With several copies, the nearest count.
Chain A
Amino acid sequence: MARPKIVSLTEAVGQIKDGDMLTFGGFTVWRRPMAAIYELIRQKKRNLHLVEVNGGTHDDMLVGAGCVGIWESSWCGHELYGKFGSNLARKIEKGEILYEDWAHIHILNRLTAGSKGLPFLPTYSAMGCDMLNPENDNLGKAGLRDGSNPHIGKLKYAMYQEPFTNSEIVLVPAANPDWCITHVQMVGAEGTVRVDGLKFSDQEVIKASKHNIIIAEQVVPEEYLRREPTRNMIGGYLVDYIVEQPWGAHPTGLYGVHEPDGEFISNFFKATRTQEGFDQWAEEWIFGVKDFQEYLSKLGITRLESLKANPALGYSSTMKRGSR
């Protein structure tokens, strides 16, 4: 197995094929690989199958741009900055996208099972809820559980009367995405990955995925990260491509580095209540700039600096909740 390659964002994202199953590191509007999201849209990927522990601004954007064929997750919204993912909501309401809803533990378990080479994991979560209503097996209803798609199993889930305590329990099948894209604070030149702050479900989604793209604020000498192995998450042998892209998580937040750009996300949410609104927004912020560096220039240093975290706190001491 070769060591990971340090490449451009264009090259890394260029490896992803139409129809691939994707997942992402991060949590809602935190530490999302936004630079890669913009590039996926610029490269006009189609029919992607997203399987995410939870969604956020990033997947609503991919959905709005028409990149996504199937969305599977527990949630999509913008936290405080937008009540729900309006592109996803619109496409679901119009029947323009296939989707499966899961409880948080369900979908976490699906990727955790994938990361451990297991066919399933059990949970007691959400029994009696509509995510497990057989009528809501949307991929099944669409005839996609016929074995033709290697990412879609024959069962959405199974109930199991287990033999140890005779309880009924939900078994959810493993998910193994083709790609996971994760934005992190630091990666070593040989691919050792360090995440500062909460780890969310990054370890699980990275290990579940066949290929990994790590986008880092900074590429640092391996030796530096290896002084403290217990602070690192992943060895380079699990990483295919490394991209160095400062601010690459904007407009989502990055622990210890910068806040989410709430105003930016809020404007996105408001603009994208219609497809036309999304298209105009994308024209300005995605297609209207050559690449992520030009996007950063368009945002400007003043705006970006205003998002910077205070190192003593891990967040900005000047930005208050609800203030802009």
Chain B
Amino acid sequence: MESKKGHSKPGEFKPIDLLACAAAREVKDGEIVFAGTGLPMLAIMVAQHTQAPTAVCIYESGSIDGRPIDLPTSVADARCSYQAAVGDGLTDVFGQLQSGKVDLAYLGGAEVDLYGNVNCTFMGGPTGKRLTGSGGNSDIHSLAKRSVLIMPQFGQKRRFVERVSYITSPGWKIPHWPDKEWVPKQEVYGSAFNGGPAAVISDMGVYRFDAKGEMYLDTVHPGFTPEECRENCSFDLNNF
């Protein structure tokens, strides 16, 4: 599978390119998009240069609707703020997020589960391997109308699990504290419910969520089969 790594030549594409393009397609023109660092940032920039030229990108550092001419290294990079409409701070953008103004959020994560819960804090729970922690991942998943998770999958089966070992960000079914009962997100968020995970886009395919809030394989990228997708998933992808 070495040919699936590295940079593509003109006229060719690699799974990572497909991943970015598939992710970019989730954006509708004019939408307000909240993007995280890395591949999400690339995807929204692809979208703005293709079918969604008036999509507005908000970064959690406080930069709003930048028109970068160079690829930023992180959400606080000055490259994000080039020709931005507003450059303020966290109180501004998280307030807008919470007030329901964000149509779509693009995020990454270390682990995702059947319900779209995301883990980027501990692999294996609080006694396991420590990662960065939430940053805005949790806030954005909690409060955006739709969220799209971009995840590498090929050869990384442990990233697609039945239950994440630590819930950093909420999917469609979550525990209600303190009683720990697992209930639909709507029940926990009540009037503050804006939506939830719309898709998980991997280097192998695009996954969506059914009416029960459970993940299914929607489309398979060229070069992969549904069986390969199933093999690279730790839970039983039985809905396709």
Which A residues are within 8 Å of any B CB, using their own CB?
1-3, 27-30, 53-54, 73-77, 79-80, 83-85, 88-90, 92-93, 101-105, 108, 112, 114-119, 123-134, 136, 159, 165-169, 188, 190, 192, 197-204, 207, 223, 225-227, 229-230, 232-238, 253, 255-256, 260, 262, 309, 313-315, 317, 320-321
Contacts and interface: CB of A to CB of B under 8 A. Distances in A.
A127 B83 CA distance: 35
A5 to B, nearest CB: 13
A321 B73 contact: yes
A104 B94 contact: yes
Interface string B45-66: 0000000001010001111111
A103 B177 contact: no
Interface in B120-170: 121, 126, 128-136, 138-139, 142-143, 166-170
Contacts of B170: 126-129
B4 interface: no
Given A89-B129, A234-B86, A128 B174 contact: yes
Interface string B74-91: 111111011111111111
Given A313-B78, A313-B82, A262 B63 contact: no
Interface string B94-117: 111011110100000000000000
Contacts, number: 263
Given A130-B166, A192-B85, A103 B131 contact: no
Given A198-B88, A315-B79, A80 B37 contact: yes
A125 B62 contact: no
B85 A105 contact: no
Given A84-B130, A84-B132, A115 B95 contact: yes
B72 interface: yes
Contacts of B129: 89, 93
B82 A314 contact: yes
B: interface residue count bin: 35 or more
B138 A126 contact: yes
A170 to B, nearest CB: 10
Contacts of B81: 197-198, 229, 255, 314
Contacts of A114: 99
B168 to A, nearest CB: 6
Given A167-B191, A235-B86, A80 B74 contact: yes
Given A80-B74, A126-B139, A136-B126, A108 B98 contact: no
B189 interface: yes
B222 interface: no
Nearest to B178: A134
Contacts of B86: 192, 229-230, 232-235
A159 B87 contact: no
Contacts of A262: 73
A79 B82 CA distance: 19
B138 A129 contact: yes
B98 A105 contact: yes
B17 interface: no
Contact of A118 (B98, B139, B185): B98
Contacts of B61: 27, 30, 198, 200
Contact of B85 (A129, A133, A136, A229): A229
Given A136-B126, A167-B192, A321-B72, A104 B65 contact: no
Given A79-B37, A80-B73, 10 more contacts: A80-B74, A93-B130, A126-B169, A129-B138, A131-B134, A199-B62, A199-B89, A227-B83, A235-B64, A315-B77
A277 B175 CA distance: 40
Contact of A126 (B38, B103, B134): B134
A20 to B, nearest CB: 19
A80 B37 CA distance: 8
Contacts of A238: 101
A230 B87 contact: yes
Contacts of B134: 74-75, 101-104, 126, 129, 131
Contacts of B89: 198-203
In the A-B complex, the 6 residue pairs with the closest CB atoms: A128-B174, A117-B99, A229-B87, A89-B130, A314-B78, A124-B192
A321 B142 contact: no
Contact of A320 (B64, B70, B190): B70
Contacts of B66: 229
A103 B139 CA distance: 6
Contact of A83 (B84, B132, B168, B190): B132
Given A126-B139, A200-B90, A229 B84 contact: yes
Contact of A128 (B91, B98, B188): B188
A130 B167 contact: yes
Nearest to B79: A315
Contact of A85 (B96, B132, B143): B132
Contacts of B87: 197-199, 229-230, 232
